[in-house]
Amino acid sequence: MILTAHVKIELFKVNFLCYASERNLYIKGRTMVKQSLAFIRTIHEVPSNKPSNPNELLVRAGYIHVQGEQSISLLPLAKRVIQKIEKMIREEMNTLSANEVSLPILNFMEKPESNSFQNEQSDIEVFHLKNRNHKELYLASSQVDYITLLVKEEIQSYKQLPFILYQIRTKFRDEIQYNGMFRARESLMLDAFSFHHSSESLKAFYEKLDDVYSSVFRRLGLAYKKVAVDAGNDAGELSHEYFILSEKGDATIAYSNESDFAVNIELAQVPSPPLTEHCDMKELTKQNLHDTKQSLEELKNSLNSQAQQLIQSKAFVVHDELAVVLYRGDHRLNEVKLRNVLNVRKLTVADEEMIREIIGCSKEYIGPIKLPVNVKVYADYGIKSICNGTCFGNEDGSFYINVNPERDFAVNAYEDLRYIQEGDPSPDGIGTIEFLKGYDVAHTYMLGSAYAKKWDATFVDEFGDSNPVLMGAYGLGVSRIFGVASEFYQDEKGFAWPNALAPYDVHLITENVDNEDQWQISEQLYNILTTYQFDVLFDDRDTSIDSKFKDADLIGLSVQVIVGKKVNEGIVKVNYRRTGETFECAKEELIDRLNEYFRVY
């Protein structure tokens, strides 16, 4: 039956859509789509010479389209998965009586000097543009400044606190390390902000947001770990990240093998190692490459074999002056720690011209001995343990052997400046450090009064005194979670989504659309499934059954119902994509079997 336009309008008035056509059907908010009309383009074979792409399976299965190097379009299948993630987030945020808002993407306000608790690359990652009046605007990568000003104008009394505002919107950042859906220039994110009159209230809500995130990850079936991270110079009192654990992850977590200690590797503290009990110091000796008949590359290779004794040097510009940082050859310099020690928002590596002008050599030959007196030297604690080490000589082609700290060079300050390594003692004193890989998908900041003071956002307390509003900021990468989940829920055939994420509940497949019996039973099931509140993708295409099965496995819906040769006996075949279970049942039993499956899974 095809409804007239007049009837359809009446149905819309009562907020109930029941529109039937030869191609599509929508009943009571459930969706049935015939695949012959769906915008789903699959690719079965991948050229062997095609470079690796983090989005490859999403492209092949018709979830996204990638144009150029970094432009990603979300196609209908991806939109449906992401909408499910959004729905979960909203349901969990509603448990906190949170208020959803929509903040402007284009900001006219003057861009603040701070980085809005982003990393050291934030300034260059923000997209800038100008309007026709030549006024500078920028696309929001963080809304903390804007929302602080909003609250400043709306809140006067402690009686209006606490409350929570959040939005799920596209955010823009010119990512330096683009990685497809995992790290894109445009990303869908939850931005939540809480506002409080007391630190007790802020701390309590900070923990409640942890419950929200934990619940979302559990519902998605994704293993995660919460770790402490670097809060930055203007990001308040406390900060945590949430990592979805994966061997392919782009971040590293350091954790103790005997305790609950876990932290982002950038923040893991390394205690000062014990000093060498006794060092039989040998005579300091300067050597040159032409004396040893070695090239610089050969020298580096030979030094790497004794990296624990090598003093590495790297020059930075700090407050317009040159500073040299020392660390052991078997360690990695942690520039996050260095930035905090130097109290700078961004580190600038000294260029070749400045190094040669002040020190007199190329950057490859910087060392700690006989540096100019105005060059400050910062050393990692590990340098203290070196006895009769090696370093370069601040002169092209030269190096020193039998180098000992303090005897042969001075250090302005020893600090913890390196990345922790597997096997190091755990900073909490229990066990040793091991590593986990993962994707950071969420971040929480206990900002305290930092931003309220910056923008003079205050409230009047019960005693009539003016106080800065206390704030928390919470971010969750919605599209990033989709990308990470797509990596987890796949196999050699394609995707194998859990029910919570699958774009449709059931993939209804007709083996032969020219067979009248198969077609009639398929259409009957098509209508019955939706009546029983299942979202259905109906493969009604006139194509080979092998192609249909390949597409079904690529798309990865939880359940495949195949109407085939046994339809004359009233039998249909059912495949459970994730478990691999396959069985036949009478078509009259199908709904009961599906209800049982969806209750369990």
Distance from C-alpha of 144 to C-alpha of 229, rounded to nearest angstrom: 19
The answer to whether residue 420 sits within a structural domain is no
496 in the same domain as 477: no
Q: What's the rounded mean pLDDT across residues 257-280?
A: 82
Distance from C-alpha of 151 to C-alpha of 451, rounded to nearest angstrom: 11
The answer to whether residue 376 sits within a structural domain is yes
239 in the same domain as 131: yes
Check: CB of residue 216 under 8 Å from CB of residue 242.
no
Please tell me the predicted confidence (pLDDT) of residue 118. Answer: 45
Residue-number span of the structural domain to which 240 is assigned: 71-267+433-485
Check: CB of residue 539 under 8 Å from CB of residue 507.
yes
The answer to whether residue 156 sits within a structural domain is yes
Between 377 and 4, the higher pLDDT residue: 377
475 in the same domain as 512: no
| Whether the model pTM is above 0.85 | no
Between 553 and 72, the higher pLDDT residue: 553
Check: CB of residue 281 under 8 Å from CB of residue 302.
no
CATH of the domain at 521: 3.40.50.800
Cα Rg of the chain, angstroms: 31
239 pLDDT tier (thresholds 50, 70, 90)? confident
H or E, element range at 483:
helix 478-488
444 in the same domain as 528: no
Distance from C-alpha of 70 to C-alpha of 181, rounded to nearest angstrom: 10
Enumerate the β-bridge partners of residue 486.
none
400 in the same domain as 255: no
Between 287 and 273, the higher pLDDT residue: 287
Please tell me the predicted confidence (pLDDT) of residue 47. Answer: 59
Please tell me the predicted confidence (pLDDT) of residue 15. Answer: 31
CATH of the domain at 180: 3.30.930.10
498 in the same domain as 478: no
Residue 578 predicted with pLDDT over 60 = yes
402 in the same domain as 442: no
The answer to whether residue 28 sits within a structural domain is yes
Of the candidates 415, 442, 459, which is a domain's last residue? 415
Of the candidates 384, 415, 446, which is a domain's last residue? 415
Burial classification of residue 167, based on how many CB atoms lie within 10 Å of its CB (0-12 exposed, 13-18 middle, 19 or more buried): middle
Least confident window among 29-43, 123-137, 229-243, 347-361: 229-243
Please tell me the predicted confidence (pLDDT) of residue 79. Answer: 96
Q: What's the rounded mean pLDDT across residues 283-295?
A: 77
CATH of the domain at 321: 3.90.960.10
Please tell me the predicted confidence (pLDDT) of residue 180. Answer: 63
| Sign of the C-alpha dihedral computed for residues 42, 44, 50 and 56 taken in this order | positive
176 in the same domain as 28: no
- What value does the mean pLDDT of the chain take? 85
275 pLDDT tier (thresholds 50, 70, 90)? low
User: What are 173-219's pLDDT values in tens digits?
Assistant: 776 565 666 667 788 999 999 999 999 999 999 999 999 999 999 99
User: What are 369-403's pLDDT values in tens digits?
Assistant: 999 999 999 999 999 989 999 999 999 989 999 99
273: CB partners within 8 A, 6+ apart: 381, 382, 384, 385
Between 49 and 267, the higher pLDDT residue: 267
Enumerate the β-bridge partners of residue 227.
241
User: What are 221-230's pLDDT values in tens digits?
Assistant: 999 999 877 5
291 in the same domain as 206: no
228 in the same domain as 88: yes
Residue 12 predicted with pLDDT over 80 = no
Check: CB of residue 347 under 8 Å from CB of residue 340.
no
Among 515, 551, 443, smallest CA distance to 190 is for: 443
Between 66 and 191, the higher pLDDT residue: 191
Please tell me the predicted confidence (pLDDT) of residue 27. Answer: 43
Least confident window among 53-67, 184-198, 227-241: 227-241
Q: What's the rounded mean pLDDT across residues 535-552?
A: 94
The answer to whether residue 348 sits within a structural domain is yes
The answer to whether residue 423 sits within a structural domain is no
Please tell me the predicted confidence (pLDDT) of residue 599. Answer: 84
362 in the same domain as 333: yes
Residue 584 predicted with pLDDT over 50 = yes
Residue 2 predicted with pLDDT over 50 = no
479 in the same domain as 399: no
Q: What's the rounded mean pLDDT across residues 248-257?
A: 88
Please tell me the predicted confidence (pLDDT) of residue 18. Answer: 37
Enumerate the β-bridge partners of residue 164.
194
Please tell me the predicted confidence (pLDDT) of residue 196. Answer: 96
